[in-house]
Amino acid sequence: MSRYVAFLRAINVGGRIVKMEALRTHFESLGFTDVETFIASGNVIFDAKGKEDALRRKIEAHLEAALGHEVGTFLRTPAEVGAISQFVAFDAAIMTSAQALNVAFLHEPLDENARETLMGLRTDIDEFSVNGREVYWLCRKKQSDSKFSNALFERKLKVQATFRGINTVRKLAEKYPG
């Protein structure tokens, strides 16, 4: 039995409201145990047997059937969440200018073409760093001042992702150490 954190895309955004109790019930109906949710943005912690990719596909298929829309699912172990929360994506001088730091969770690391495309999206407001299956997005102003978004990211890079604020990731790492 392994412990996982599922970062779900398209939960409680764009008018698609899912109560966390319902989300827990969906995960339990898949045979997962010790299911918990963390804040109402689609973070589910659970224990399960099986390989990550098979679990991801099982969750995605179930949630799409149950909720009526695609729900991208990005699984990480608590140890991976801890490492993601501690990764130094930008030097201290750049961090002092940051209004926000977000993490994009991907299924696979970006290929070289996608990395180049991502770096082409940098502006005087937005900066990016890539580490494994995560992309760190530093926003120097309010995110509402940026033209960058998850939709733009997915369209330009042709990958699916979900973003979380670094504070959420750090709180998850603290609550569920690996």
pLDDT in tens, the chain (178 residues): 999 999 999 888 777 789 999 999 999 999 999 999 999 889 999 999 999 999 999 999 999 999 999 999 999 999 999 999 999 999 999 998 899 999 999 999 999 999 999 999 999 999 999 999 999 999 999 999 999 999 999 999 999 999 999 999 999 999 999 8
Give the domain 2-76 fold: Alpha-Beta Plaits (3.30.70)
- Which sequence spans correspond to the domains of the chain? 2-76, 81-175
Q: Tell which residue, 176, 162, 166, has the closest CA to residue 47.
A: 176
Torsion of CA 113, 121, 141, 71, to 10 degrees: -60
Please check whether residue 102 is in contact with residue 137, taking contact to mean a CB–CB distance below 8 angstroms: yes
Q: What gap in Å lies between CA 62 and CA 73, rounded to an integer? A: 11
Q: Helix, strand or coil for residue 124?
A: coil
Give the domain 81-175 fold: Alpha-Beta Plaits (3.30.70)
